[in-house]
Structure 1
Amino acid sequence: MTEHRIFKLPFASLYPAYLNKAERKGRTQAEVDSIICWLTGYDSAGLAQQLSAQTDIAGFFAQAPLFQPNAALIKGVVCGVRVEEVADPLTRKIRYLDKLIDELAKGKSMDKILRKAP
């Protein structure tokens, strides 16, 4: 099976799209970073290092210190596809992040986005 070309795209080139989507809806870079760090286990310094190193998306997720164990709680549709039904593990991780950023842009509270108990 051939690898999808998005896997080789630098995460740093995708990051501004996430920021723009959130900021257009009045959300902040800190919230976007918080979501990325929650999902991947990176701290702020680790995220900054990955962005400056131009790590590709496959490497970004492969090097993630601790992928969120509660990620399976992320459900919904992104681009017409249910994220929980995506077969490829890397594509599913990308879609999880897409879904979280969508929720942020739609105004959900950070507690709900990060799947925290009330």
Structure 2
Amino acid sequence: MNKVFLLKREDLAPGEVRQVQTGGCPLAVYNLEGRFYATSDVCTHATASLSGGEIVDGDLIACPVHDGQFHIPTGQAVTFPCTVDLRTYRIIEDGDQVFADLDAESEDAVSSV
């Protein structure tokens, strides 16, 4: 397990996304109605920062460059031009602190479905 601190729960309001640097690996951290998720922050199509994008339809992140979209819980690429899925990370919550395990995908990840 490679557990890294991301943020405190109160630092990211529901419906928001934020970039968190973890040892040179930028992650996009999301709060979807009180449930936290983490993915790679780099769009698989245009290498843009997804944390600069917008959460749409409740659980999709839209890339700020070409508006391709990914399903946040699974990392699945769902709209063109994005065709390669995002890397997701397992979230660990401990009290008011949110961590990611950089060695494990989220339970909802495409590869675990």
Fold shared per TM-score above 0.5: no
Larger Rg belongs to = 1
Structure having the higher strand fraction is 2
As a proportion of its length, which structure holds more helix? 1
- Where relative contact order (Cα < 8 A, 6+ residues apart) is larger, the structure is 1
TM-score relative to the length of structure 1: 0.28
